[in-house]
Amino acid sequence: MKDLTIRLDALDPQAGAALRVITYFDDLLAHNAGIQAIVRAAAVLSAGPAALVDEARQVRLRVDEAGRLGEPAAAPDPAWPSVPVGSGGGLLWLEQSGPPRPVDAMVLERAAAAAAAVLDRTRGRRDSVPYDQASTEILLDPASPREARTAALRRLRLPETAQVRAVARADGKALVQLVSAAPDPSARAGVGPAGGVADLPASWAAARLALRLTAEGTPDDPGPRIVHADQSGALMVLAAAVGPATPPIADVVALEHAVRSAPWMAATLDAVATSASVRSAAAALRVHHSTLQERIAHAGRLLGWSVDDPAGRLRLHLALVLRRLHRAASAM
């Protein structure tokens, strides 16, 4: 390999430099180098500071060109070259200004691949937060004193800089979740907006509202089992306004009457309200589009308004959401 590098240098200095970078990182991996050695190699080979941040796995590392450790910036300068590390939200960057050099791109690519391999081997993916109801409730309570919150973070093994969100589940469980984690698809839940640890009380309040917009996902109660508050827009206003004592409007009464008329009615109306077209709704329901057209006409007669046009479908969608909220008021 050394002879090949020398010959490449003579023919094409850039190709020779790229081969040296590849060989360097391959050699580090072959000798089970740690994450500091990977970032240090990136700094030395690029002749400038390099940094790696992976909040999900609690890695914050900066090494200058002399190999000295330090604390990385909160976020890289947009002008610095950077590359994601794996799929867990990590980022590796070089503190280089000026026109990008071909060797820097190679250093970033090989260092990121090596860092992902080392992190998967030594730390795995840390997408989940240990479940501790008492500690979680402290973080979600806006009245919790700072000392209690700090202790709760320590018990949950969360850094103060973690990006997190609150999750309210239909089974009553409250969770704190790293933003790199996906909600459990088997659990009905409302998901609050992402933010810092200090934002968890607000995220929790939004998650509880979002939970009221969820459904069982059954033919009788069709709809989403997981609702993200930051993707729900004005529906969150409805969720806040409609409570257990709110009387149902005429559209919801008509909707309940229609749903009781046939076992397929609720799922059909939900598909019509949420699909881009009648054909896509028919595909989702696995019925012929002519069959769905007949169902739509029948539903319109029962509801008292047509769902064949955008205004009628919007009215139907809102009635379905309100029905969900009324059902949630009595069930949660």
Domain ranges of the chain: 2-122, 133-213, 242-331
pLDDT at 11: 42
- CB < 8 Å & 24+ apart, contacts of 188-191: 188/214, 188/215, 188/216, 188/217, 188/225, 188/226, 189/214, 189/225, 189/226, 189/227, 190/214, 190/226, 190/227, 190/229, 191/165, 191/166, 191/167, 191/226, 191/227, 191/228, 191/229
CA 78 to chain centre: 23
3-class DSSP state for residue 132?
Answer: coil
Give the C-alpha distances (Å, rounded to integers) separating 147 from 138, 144, 152, 153, 203.
Answer: 10, 8, 9, 10, 21
Amino acid at 316: L
pLDDT at 305: 96
pLDDT at 95: 92
pLDDT at 2: 43
CA 58 to chain centre: 18
List the chain pLDDT tens, one digit each, 332 residues: 444 333 434 444 454 566 778 888 888 888 888 889 999 999 988 889 999 988 767 788 999 988 888 888 877 888 899 999 876 668 999 998 777 677 888 899 999 999 988 887 765 554 567 678 889 999 999 999 999 999 999 888 888 888 999 999 998 999 999 988 877 878 899 999 999 999 999 999 999 999 999 999 899 899 999 999 999 999 999 999 998 789 999 999 999 999 999 999 999 999 999 998 999 999 989 999 999 999 999 999 999 999 999 999 999 999 999 999 998 854 44
For the 242-331 domain, the top CATH level (class) is mainly alpha
CA-to-CA distance for 122 and 34, rounded, in angstroms?
Answer: 8
Q: What is the sign, positive or negative, of the torsion defined by CA atoms of 297, 300, 301, 305?
A: negative
Q: What is the sign, positive or negative, of the torsion defined by CA atoms of 55, 56, 58, 62?
A: negative
pLDDT at 1: 44
pLDDT at 13: 44
Question: Considering only CA atoms, which of 2, 21, 190, 199 is closest in space to residue 112?
Answer: 21
Question: Considering only CA atoms, which of 153, 181, 184, 158 is closest in space to residue 171?
Answer: 184
Question: Considering only CA atoms, which of 87, 88, 46, 83 is closest in space to residue 67?
Answer: 46
Cβ 39 vs Cβ 25: under 8 Å: no
Cβ 166 vs Cβ 203: under 8 Å: yes
Amino acid at 62: R
